[in-house]
Structures are given as structure tokens and as C-alpha cells.
Structure 1
Amino acid sequence: MHAPHFTTDASSNGIRERDFTVGGVPGILWSPASGADRAPLVLMGHGGGHHKKHPAMAGRAQRLVTGGGFHVAVLDAPGHGDRPRSAEDEREIAALRGAQAAGEPEGPIVVRYNARLAQAAVPEWRAALDALQGLPEIGADGPVGYVGIGLGTAIGVPLVAVEPRITAAVYVCTWPDVLIEAAQRITVPIEFDLQWDDERIPREASLALFDAFASKEKTLHANAGMHLELPRFEADSAVRFFVRHLGGAVAPAA
């Protein structure tokens, strides 16, 4: 097992931020600055074309740390952030940009590309979880949750399906085409966010993915708006969700 190799360590506004690598994969760990007691760990997967420190990740991490007292870890997905793109990455991205420019369906390209990235990323996440649970402030027996946005959901559904240490998950909708079978193997509590007027992902497809989860407790949050208009208050809902299922205490939003 690789231990996390920390390369930076800084604290501000009650949050400790540490860059790390595990087996050459770069990540970031946000934690309560006090660091005195053990706290649950929440893993987060970023959206396609984004990276571990994207504002969507940093903002959610801040709420999870200050609002629930959690540790929060994000890895750069293959070909994203500080990781080099392969020739295949470049071909897929060029095909996606071409389809968008021509007004052609982008779903088939994104589904294919995300499935390939997920195949590589799932074992990376499991290795990172091994390493992070070796830290005394997290521990091998501590509860673990997962948040996925877009590509992070495409990675997170197959990850949660095979990783018994993750006991609750929040997903923001993505193309579901190849995720149904994995979703049918997930029984942990789920909170699922979709945009009712999403211009990119058909509503019926997102509803089919939600229906596929075998969880006895699953909650659908359907908000009016387009693909990139997920309301900010859903981040606060995720904090309350993880407090219920992982432990911790909800602090008021700043």
C-alpha cells in the first residue's frame, strides 16, 4: 500500500489544505484545521474537463469541512488537472469539440470516454482510500462517503458498486448509458440531483438511472434549470445527508 505523499500543507479560515500523491496520482485533502479528533472522510469526483481544485470542488469541500467537520479528498481524474493527456484523450476531446461545434449529439462520445476513464480511475480511488485510511485522523474503521459531479458520477457509480467501505453517496447526474448495471448493485443511501430542463442529458435517462439504484433509501432532487444551473443549496443538502449517514454535526452556513 502506498502512503500519501504530502507536498504542501497550509491552513486558513479553519480549513487545512494538503496536496498529495498516491502512486503518482495527484490529489488534495481538505480537513478541519484543528485536526484533534477523527472525522469521517468524503471522497469527491470532479466534472469532465475540470480538476481537483476547481471552484465546484473547493466550494463543496469548504461546506463539508466547516459544515459537517469532515475530511474531503479529491483526485485528478486520468487526463485531467495535473495529469498528462494521452493521445487517446486528445482524440476523444477533439471528437467532442467537433460534435458540439456541429450541433451533433455529444452523449455517445462522452459515454465512451467517461467509461474508459472510470475503468482506470476506480482502482486509483481504492488505492487512495487505502492510503488515506492509514492517516491517524481518518483511520481504517472510519465512515466514508462519496460525491460525484458529471464525470465524477460516471466514476463514482462503478466505484461505490465495488467498494464496501463507502456507505453513502451523492450523485449529480451524468450520461447513464453504461451505469445501469453498476447502479443495480448499489444498496447504500443515495441522494441524486438532476436538472429538470437539462439540455444535454435527457430527463428520462437520468430518471432511469435513479430508478436503477437498489438502495432502500434514495432521494431524488429535481431542480428547474439547465445542465450547469444546479442550485448552490444542494451542497448544503449534501452536508446534512452525510451528517445523517456518516456522523458529525451540521454547522450553519456562513
Structure 2
Amino acid sequence: MHSQRFTAESSSDGMVERDFTVGGVPGVLWSPASGTEPAPLVLMGHGGGHHKKHPAMAGRARLLVTGRGFHVAVIDAPGHGDRPRSAQDERDVAELRRAQAAGAPEGPIVVPYNARLAELAVPEWQATLDALQELPEIGADGPVGYFGIGLGTAIGVPLVAAEPRITAAAFGMNWPDALFETAKRITVPIEFAMQWDDERIPREAALALFDAFASTEKTLHANAGKHFDMPRFEADSAVRFLARHLGRPVTSPA
């Protein structure tokens, strides 16, 4: 079992930020500044090319921590953030950049790249969850959710399928190719967001991934616009969804 080590701590506006490592994997845990009772934990996956403290991660964490009293944890995916890229990472990224410059489809490159990262990241996430649940403010029996878009979905789908401790998940914006069979094993409540005019992920591909989930409760949010046009209110919706399923009352207007 990997032990957790906190390496830095700061606080602002009701939220405590603690950097940590588990088995050499760097992460961050955001928690309410007040209150010592156990609270739900949300694991968040960052997007491709981003890192654990990307503004999108910090912003979503603030909604969950100061708005709902949750704990939120993010770890750097392999080859991202404070983790060095392997030679294979460098080759994959270079190939992706060439495809983007040529206007070629990205899926044939991104799908196997993300699948390779997910194979490495899922056991890292499970070790991180083991360590976090040893903290008294989280506990071994508290509810756990997951929230990840893009690469966060590519890693999150196999993680949620493998991890019975996760009881609700918000996903979105990914290809089904490497995830279709795994999604069939997921039965927990799902909220899934997509962009109807996504120039990277074909509409039919996004719909196929949503359809693959075996969850009896699953909700699709399809927004007009291209890949980077996802409305910010989708983060608010995911927070309400997770609050509903992890045991915190939803007080915001519907």
C-alpha cells in the first residue's frame, strides 16, 4: 500500500489546498476550511494537456468545496503536470500536433494514447483513493463520486467500471472506441455532456458512448457549439448531480 505524504498547504476564501504525493504521483486535495466531520469525496480528472491545478479544476473544486462542503482530489495524469513525459508520450504528442496542423482527424491518435494513459492511471487513482480514505475527514465509508471531461473521461470510465466505491459520475466529450465495452459495465448514475457541433468528436461517436452506459439513470446534455464551446453552466449542473447522489442537499434553483 502506498502512503500519502502532504507536501504543501495553503488556504483562501473558505477552501484549504493541500498538495500530496501517493507512490510518487503528485496530487492536490481541496477541502472546506471549517468542519471536521466526514464529507463526500469527488475525484476529478483533468483534460488532455492540462494538469491537476488547471483553472478548470480549481474552479470546479471551489463549487464543490465551498458550495457543497465536499472534498475534491485531482492527480496529474501520466506525462502531465509535474510528471515527466516518456519517449512514447513525446512521439504521441508530436503525431497529434502534426495531425492538427494538417487538419486530419485526431481520434486515431488520441484514442490509443488516452487508452495507454488510462491503463497506467487507473491503479494510481485506486491507490490515491485508498490513501485519501484513511484521512478522518473523508473516512473509509463515505460516498465517492467522479467528474472528468475529455481525458478525464478516458481515464474515468475504466476507473468507475473497476472501482465499486465510486457511486456517481459526470463524464463527457470523448470517443467511444476504447471505452464502449467498459462503459457497458457501468451501472451507477451518469451525467454526460457533449457538444452537438464538435469538430473533433463526431456527434454519432459521442451519442454511441452515452448509449453504451448500462446505467438505469443517465442524463445527456447536448449543447450547441464546437469542442471548446462547452458552457460553464455544465459545471454547475455536474455539481448539482453529484450533490444529489452523494448525499448533500441541492439548494440551488433547478
**TM-score normalised by length of structure 1:** 0.97
Output one character per residue of 1:143-171: Cα deviation in whole Å (capped at 9) or x when no partner: 00001110010000011001000000000
Aligned AA (1:177): D
Question: Would you say how many aligned residue pairs link Structure 1 and Structure 2?
Answer: 253
> Which residue in the other structure is 1:241 paired with?
241
Runs of 5+ in structure 2 lacking a partner?
none
Task: Please give the residue correspondences for 1:57-206 in structure 2 after superposition, counting only pairs within 5 Å.
Answer: 57-206=57-206
Residue 7 in 1 paired to residue 7 in 2? yes
Q: In structure 1, what is the Cα distance between the partners aligned to 2:90 and 2:124?
A: 21
Structure 1 Cα separation of the partners of residues 180 and 205 of structure 2: 10
3-state SS of paired residue (1:9)? strand
Q: Which residue of 2 aligns with 1:23?
A: 23
Kept after mapping to 2: 8 A contact 1:44/1:146: yes
Matching residue's letter, 1:184? K
State the alpha-carbon separation in 2 of the partners of residues 151 and 14 from structure 1: 29
Q: What SS class does the counterpart of residue 222 from structure 2 fall into? A: strand
Q: Which one has more relative contact order, counting CA pairs under 8 Å at least 6 apart? A: 1
When structure 1 is superposed on structure 2, of 26-35 and 1-10 the one drifting more is 1-10
SS at 2:131 equivalent = helix
Q: Which residue of 2 aligns with 1:55?
A: 55
How far apart in 2 are the matches of 1:22 and 1:35? 25
> Any stretches of 5+ residues in structure 1 without a counterpart?
none
Q: Does the CA-based 8 Å contact 2:40-2:143 persist in structure 1? A: yes
Task: Map residues 34-45 of structure 1 onto 2, 5 A cutoff.
Answer: 34-45=34-45
Residue 128 of structure 2 aligns to which amino acid in structure 1? A
- Aligned equivalents of 1:135, 1:87: Cα separation in 2: 36
Q: Distance in 2 between matches of 1:66 and 1:198?
A: 32
Displacement of 1:135 after TM fit? 0.3
* 8 A Cα contact 1:15 1:65, kept in partner: yes
User: Contact between 2:28 and 2:73, CA under 8 Å: does it hold in 1?
Assistant: yes
Superposed displacement of residue 105, structure 1: 1.3
The normalised TM-score by structure 2 is: 0.97
Deviation at 1:251, TM superposition (A): 5.4
Letter of the structure 2 residue corresponding to residue 234 of structure 1: E
Query: 1:250 offset after TM fit, Å?
Result: 3.7
Deviation at 1:252, TM superposition (A): 5.1
Q: Secondary structure at the match of 2:8?
A: coil
Letter in 2 for 1:82: D
> How many angstroms does 1:249 deviate by?
3.3
Structure 1 vs Structure 2: percent identity of aligned residues?
Answer: 78
> Stretches of 4+ moved more than 3 A in 1?
249-253
Residue 222 (structure 1) aligns with:
222
Q: Partner letter of residue 113 of structure 1?
A: Y
Corresponding residue SS for 1:215: coil
Residues 205-214 or 31-40, more deviating: 31-40
**In 2, are the aligned partners of 1:42 and 1:147 still within 8 Å (CA)?**
yes
